[in-house]
């Protein structure tokens, strides 16, 4: 079995990729996927810390995060679909009536 530290490093790398993805990509779907990557990085980190400390709670917390992320997907995709219906495009640069 790979040493536990590999898992922490992997989760940090995933989180970084996710963060950069949200910051540089323009398509809401890809941005949303990057956000999911950040959440799954957190899940991996919860599970491996639970393993490292011989606790169960971290794995349970990961389930909570999964459930919350699922609820977020439902709402997020609905919003993206409704935007696509009214504009035929979902690029965030097109969604810029409100200047800020």
The residues of the shown chain that bind another protein, judged by CB under 8 A, are 8, 11, 15, 18-19, 22, 28, 31-32, 35, 38-39, 41-43, 45-46, 49, 52-53, 55, 57-58, 61, 64-65, 68, 71-72, 75-76, 78-80, 82-83, 86-87, 92, 95-100
What residues have CB less than 8 Å from 84, skipping those under 6 apart? 90
The least distance separating another protein from the CB of residue 87, rounded to whole angstroms, comes to 7
Rounded alpha-carbon distances, angstroms, from residue 4 to 48, 71, 89: 7, 30, 43
CA–CA distance, 35 with 4 (Å, rounded to integer): 24
What residues have CB less than 8 Å from 81, skipping those under 6 apart? none
Q: Which is closer to another protein, CB of 6 or CB of 53?
A: 53
The least distance separating another protein from the CB of residue 45, rounded to whole angstroms, comes to 4
């Amino acid at each position: 079995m790979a040493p536990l530290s590999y898992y922490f490093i992997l989760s940090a790398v995933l989180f970084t990729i996710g963060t950069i993805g949200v910051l540089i990509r323009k398509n809401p779907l890809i941005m949303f996927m990057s956000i999911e990557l950040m959440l799954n990085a957190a899940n991996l980190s919860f599970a491996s810390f639970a393993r490292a400390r011989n606790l169960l709670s971290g794995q349970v917390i990961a389930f909570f995060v999964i459930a919350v992320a699922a609820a977020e997907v439902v709402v997020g995709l609905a919003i993206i679909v409704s935007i696509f219906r009214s504009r035929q495009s979902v690029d965030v640069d097109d969604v810029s009536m409100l200047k800020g």
